[in-house]
Amino acid sequence: MPPTEATARTDERDLLRRMRLVSLLEGATLVALLFVAVPLKHIAGHPAATSIIGPIHGMAFLLYVWMLIQTVSGADWSRAEIARAVIVAFIPFGAFANERFLKRKELALAGSVSPEGKWDTSG
């Protein structure tokens, strides 16, 4: 028997919550790479920093892209939303904007606001 509507919504919300965490992890490792490891390598002459943080960010980026593919394949995201979620992964501190966007989608599933951030009064 298919799960109830409420169970399916809870599943989607859990997925979006995990996606937010992975997005923050990806964003934090990108910031650490660009603003800590790269200056340490080129200014302070410590190349070990990039060789440690680089692969960690690589893993976090891969996980984020995989989570995004998994999330959009199982839901109905618009092309603009997908493009936005991809672009922010390349922008330092973009993950923090993404966090708010994903939180809004999560709340929209709970029925309180629409993904665009407007209050949903239809329900």
Q: For binding to other proteins (CB under 8 A), which residues are involved?
A: 1-3, 8, 11, 15, 51, 55, 58-59, 62-63, 65-75
Instruction: Work out how close the CB of 62 gets to other proteins at its nearest, in angstroms, rounded to a whole number.
Output: 6
Query: In angstroms, rounded to a whole number, what is the distance separating the alpha carbons of residues 51 and 46?
Result: 10
Instruction: Work out how close the CB of 78 gets to other proteins at its nearest, in angstroms, rounded to a whole number.
Output: 15
Query: In angstroms, rounded to a whole number, what is the distance separating the alpha carbons of residues 13 and 27?
Result: 21
Distances (CA, A) of 80 to 48, 85, 87, 115: 38, 9, 10, 12
Instruction: Work out how close the CB of 119 gets to other proteins at its nearest, in angstroms, rounded to a whole number.
Output: 26
